[in-house]
Structure 1
Amino acid sequence: MAIKRNKRFQAEVATSSLSDIMFFLLLFFLIISTLANPNVIKMMLPKAANNEKTTTQHISISVTEDKRYFINKKEVALSELEGELLAEMGTHTDQAVVVRIPFNSQIQELVDVLQIGVKNNLKFVIATEAK
């Protein structure tokens, strides 16, 4: 007499560790998203062989291709740029000012912004991308 087994082997997927993996992925992406700098306007920067990162607190001045000026994502006219920059810096004159200008812009636009720093003895840095 042949005895049949009622229980057959069924393949199972262990899902208990998947929740742990999803939790770690969620934490990873949350941490990485906070490291991105939200105060910048996306543009193609000039390329340089040596890049250094500023470790001090800084203010960002962005100049777009259509000659619009921004201080930390706040649009400012060129005539008001100096006053707004000094108001933004307040008493913290040791802060660096990062100038972000497109790679194909004219030199005069950069010089106009840098003259503000020379006039007020501010530390200006030009933002670049790695070659």
Structure 2
Amino acid sequence: MELKRRNRISAEFSMASMTDIIFLLLIFFMITSSAISQSAIDVKLPEVSTEAVPAQDPTTISITKEGAFYLNDESIERTLLEQKLVAVLSGQQDKTFTIRADKQTPHGDVVFVMEIAEKHQYNLAIATLQNN
């Protein structure tokens, strides 16, 4: 007596489900990409009048590649920098200063000034100067 198998395994692969998934991914990326580009265009920044805010010279600390420190373009010793900076910024409402350093300035000198800012909770910006 010969028994026949009822379940045969098909060696064929159906691409119908794969095309559905690719089509859905295509729609998803088209919708998200158009939403991202539209949100960047629709941003409108508020206008500020410069007459309301008095112009204030920003406090700067310049560091040369030799390790010399300058507070507002006046030479200052490294040991006196923190005292003088606190004295200058104590009279200002916005306690912010800028570090201007040559690109060959040792990293430790910049970190020294950043530690002063962190200790006194000052805001700072970092700029670099390139020698031509």
TM-score, structure 1 normalization:
0.52
Query: Contact 2:63/2:69 (CA < 8 Å) preserved in 1?
Result: yes
3-state SS of paired residue (1:116): helix
User: 1:123 maps to what in 2?
Assistant: 123
Deviation at 1:63, TM superposition (A): 0.5
Equivalence map 1:19-98=2 (5 Å):
57-98=57-98
Query: Contact 2:65/2:106 (CA < 8 Å) preserved in 1?
Result: no
- Distance in 2, Cα, partners of 1:81 & 1:116: 9
- Distance in 1, Cα, partners of 2:122 & 2:62: 16
- 1:101 is the counterpart of 2:101: yes
Query: Contact 2:62/2:100 (CA < 8 Å) preserved in 1?
Result: yes
3-state SS of paired residue (2:70): strand
3-state SS of paired residue (1:100): strand
Query: Contact 2:60/2:99 (CA < 8 Å) preserved in 1?
Result: yes
Deviation at 1:90, TM superposition (A): 2.3
Give the length in aligned residue pairs.
Answer: 76
Percent identity, please. Answer: 23
User: 2:18 maps to what in 1?
Assistant: none
RMSD: 2.1
1:53-81 deviation line (CA, Å, top 9, x unaligned): xx975201000111110001111111100
- Distance in 2, Cα, partners of 1:114 & 1:93: 20
**Structure 1 pair 128–63 and aligned structure 2 pair: CA distance change class (3 A):** closer
Query: Contact 2:62/2:70 (CA < 8 Å) preserved in 1?
Result: yes
- Distance in 1, Cα, partners of 2:71 & 2:99: 10
3-state SS of paired residue (1:61): strand
**Structure 1 pair 93–76 and aligned structure 2 pair: CA distance change class (3 A):** farther
Query: Contact 1:93/1:122 (CA < 8 Å) preserved in 2?
Result: no
Gaps of 5+ in 2: 1-54
Structure 1 stretches of at least 4 aligned residues deviating more than 2 Å after TM superposition: none
Structure number with the bigger relative contact order (C-alpha 8 A, sep ≥ 6) is 1
3-state SS of paired residue (1:124): strand
- Distance in 2, Cα, partners of 1:93 & 1:85: 14
Higher Cα radius of gyration? 2
Query: Contact 1:58/1:97 (CA < 8 Å) preserved in 2?
Result: yes
TM-score, structure 2 normalization:
0.52
